[in-house]
Amino acid sequence: MSHKKEFVKDITNIDEDFAQWYTDIVLKSELADYTDVKGFISIRPYGYAIWEKIQEYTNKKFKEYGVKNISMPVLIPESLLNKEKEHVEGFAPEVAWVTMGGGEQLEERLCVRPTSETIFSTMYAKWLSSWRDLPFLYNQWCNVLRWEKETRPFLRSREFLWQEGHTIHETEQEAKKFTFDMLEVYADVVENLLAIPVLKGQKTKKEQFAGAEATYTVETLMHDGRALQGATSHYFGQNFTKPFDVKFQNREGEQEYAYQTSWGSSTRLIGAVIMAHGDNRGLKLPPYIAPIQVVIVPIAQQKENVLEEAEKVKDILAKKFRVKLDSRDNYTVGYKFNDWEMKGVPVRVEMGPKEIEKGEVIVTRRDTLEKMPIKVEELAEKLEELLEEIQKSMYNTCRKRREEKTTTALNMEELERNLKENQGYVKTMWCGSQECEDKVKEITGAPSRCIPFEQEHLSDTCVCCGKKADTMIIWGRQY
């Protein structure tokens, strides 16, 4: 028993070794585990339940825009991948190839999809004939494979789960609008579901998606001040529709190439939840995505009536919440408290003979560890208010941290100092040259995060070269 108890407490200190802390949380809260295939993880039921909540919410939002789900093949012929030059160059180093099938050498290599623009484009060319068919608003929930050199569960696995939306439109204006609409969906998911504030903006040319005309992003900031890209939305224009011959008869009766978008979010959002909210006791899950919102821990459950009363409370709460009664009899109460805190369950309800006699329970919040007695007859109503309060409070905690970790720099010296002393987002002016962008990354290890939609005028000169600059950009080290 004592061994088990230590196991729960045995989490590396968050401020001493953040990377190890993260791995401890993933493994010990049973979100995921390593497999015998190097760089590939198994997502365990608890981790997958969080993904299902993200999926459910996002899917509903997509459908409000008329998006339909679809399924495309996992293998893509090499000839297709080679059709869009920038795209293939961008993905080539990460591609895994299939060369044999059923014991025979294949005539043409097939790549395991790193993303599916090419296969969607070939199918769109087949299915599209007139402007009356448009728009095609399709999305698929699937897995993709990218041969990453360095892997970390959820953040960078070689195989990950995601959704990839691919749409084609009649006009440039309509396609651009849809690109922004999807970015707003992502901002909604990350802020309102995951309780993490986002920074919205456009990626620089260097950082944009291979083959896109423009890439837009929702960026998030983690506990240690590193950034994590939450999701991206890309405007392609006709970069894919021309090489793949995706054209239609327009309203004037002439042939025209369609305008395309692509947008995606993945299981790395689970990584964002861990790193934005977690602490030295483990995970902290926002109530909206917690697989278990309320856990009931009976005290002295071997005593008469305790389990029966706990069951009654569970039945009342189960009508409104995702609730679990922990009646395991081979663990101490202390172990159970630690265990559920580590799993990040937002609210714990304790009840033993003393509480039952008073007709109340003791409720503990996971986010603040605050305890309060609540009458059983008021419990369902009070918990509803409490879970809303926890969701808001977790968002505000993240927002406050982001404010504290966002600084301004007017020159390289300040930029380096800010990143060293208070790692986070650094706002500067930028002349727009890739040379300066590369130099900043080389010197500080911080690539550009985005050119935020909300621009500020900090000075007249570029942080790097000192030349005239009228664009504000944000830098930050990343995951």
What is the share, in percent, of the chain residues with pLDDT greater than 70? 98
Q: What pLDDT was estimated at residue 148?
A: 87
CA 54, CA 57: separation in Å to the nearest integer? 5
Residue 382's nearest CA partner among 365, 395, 397 is 365
pLDDT, tens only, 377-396: 999 999 999 999 999 999 99
Task: Name the band, by pLDDT with cuts 50, 70 and 90, for residue 257.
Answer: very high
Determine which helix (DSSP H) or strand (DSSP E) holds 449, and give its type and residue range.
strand 448-452
Q: What is the mean pLDDT of the chain?
A: 95
Beta strands in 246-398 (DSSP E): 247-249, 255-257, 259-266, 294-298, 323-325, 347-351, 360-365, 371-375
Residue 228's nearest CA partner among 193, 176, 266 is 266
**How are strands ordered across the β-sheet holding 214-221?**
68-69, 136-145, 159-169, 259-266, 227-237, 214-221, 199-202, 448-452, 471-475, 425-430, 406-408
pLDDT, tens only, 412-430: 999 999 999 999 999 999 9
CA 180, CA 172: separation in Å to the nearest integer? 13
Q: What pLDDT was estimated at residue 7?
A: 44
DSSP state letter for 378:
G
Is the confidence at residue 17, as pLDDT, over 60?
Answer: yes
Q: What pLDDT was estimated at residue 4?
A: 41
Is the confidence at residue 8, as pLDDT, over 90?
Answer: no
**How are strands ordered across the β-sheet holding 347-351?**
323-325, 294-298, 347-351, 360-365, 371-375
Mean pLDDT of 9-36: 93
Mean pLDDT of 87-93: 77
Ordered by where they begin, the domains of the chain are: 2-277 (3.30.930.10), 294-401 (3.40.50.800), 406-475 (3.30.110.30)
Which of 63-67, 88-92, 111-115 reaches the highest mean pLDDT? 63-67
Picking from 152-156, 301-305, 446-450, which range would have the lowest pLDDT averaged per residue?
301-305
Mean pLDDT of 40-63: 98
Count of CB atoms situated within 10 Å of the CB of 69: 13
Is the confidence at residue 1, as pLDDT, over 80?
Answer: no
Mean pLDDT of 226-233: 97
Is the confidence at residue 41, as pLDDT, over 70?
Answer: yes
Beta strands in 129-258 (DSSP E): 136-145, 159-169, 199-202, 214-221, 227-237, 247-249, 255-257
pLDDT, tens only, 129-176: 999 999 999 999 999 999 988 889 999 889 999 999 999 999 999 999
Helix (H, G, I), strand (E, B) or coil at 238: coil
Beta strands in 60-198 (DSSP E): 68-69, 75-77, 96-101, 104-112, 136-145, 159-169
CA 25, CA 10: separation in Å to the nearest integer? 10
> What global pTM score does this model have?
0.94
Q: What pLDDT was estimated at residue 153?
A: 94
